[in-house]
Every structure is written in C-alpha cells, then in structure tokens.
Amino acid sequence: MSRKAYVMIDVEKGQSGSVAAEISKLPGIVSVDVVFGQHNLIAIIEADDLDHLAKIVRDKIATADFVFHTQTFPVVH
C-alpha cells in the first residue's frame, strides 16, 4: 500500500517558483503548489511506506537549494 503526505515547505524570499520547479521533478512528488500564508509551498508526495516518505523529505526536499524548513503531514486515512 502506498503512503501519501502533505509537505509544507518554507523557502528564501523570491525563490518559491524555482524551488517548486526543482522539487516537482523529484521521484515521488505528485504535485507542488506555490501558496500564500505561513508556508511558501505545499507538496503532495507518495511512497511505498513511511520510511520512504521520510527519506524523500529528509534527503531530497529539505536539502534542496533555498529550502530552510519543512513540515510533513502523513495522511492517516
């Protein structure tokens, strides 16, 4: 069974578009949207299990250029 999560992403000022474009190319990324509010981007990711979800966030999204904070919300139901 595949696991899904919403990831709130905070980026440096003026970098939302370029970071969204970069992240959208990563494996496991379903979509990335630029938003207004507390966070700059919201990504939807899918992976085989929770460990793989964590690896995508930790090793790919959180380490992308101009990203300074992420918050992940795994879908329960």
36-73 pLDDT tens trace:
999 999 999 999 999 999 999 999 999 999 999 999 99
Least Cα distance to 11 among 42, 40, 38, 36 occurs for: 40
Give the full edge-to-edge strand order of the sheet including 67-74: 29-34, 41-47, 3-11, 67-74
Domains with residue ranges and CATH for the chain: 3-74 (3.30.70.920)
Helix (H) or strand (E) holding 72: strand 67-74
Instruction: Please tell me the predicted confidence (pLDDT) of residue 77.
Output: 84
The per-residue pLDDT for range 19-36, each reduced to its tens digit, is 999 999 999 999 999 999
Q: What is the pTM of this model?
A: 0.94
The predicted pLDDT at position 14 comes to 96
- Helices and strands (DSSP H and E) totals, the chain: 2, 4
In this prediction, residue 8 carries a pLDDT of 98
Query: pLDDT at position 66, please?
Result: 97
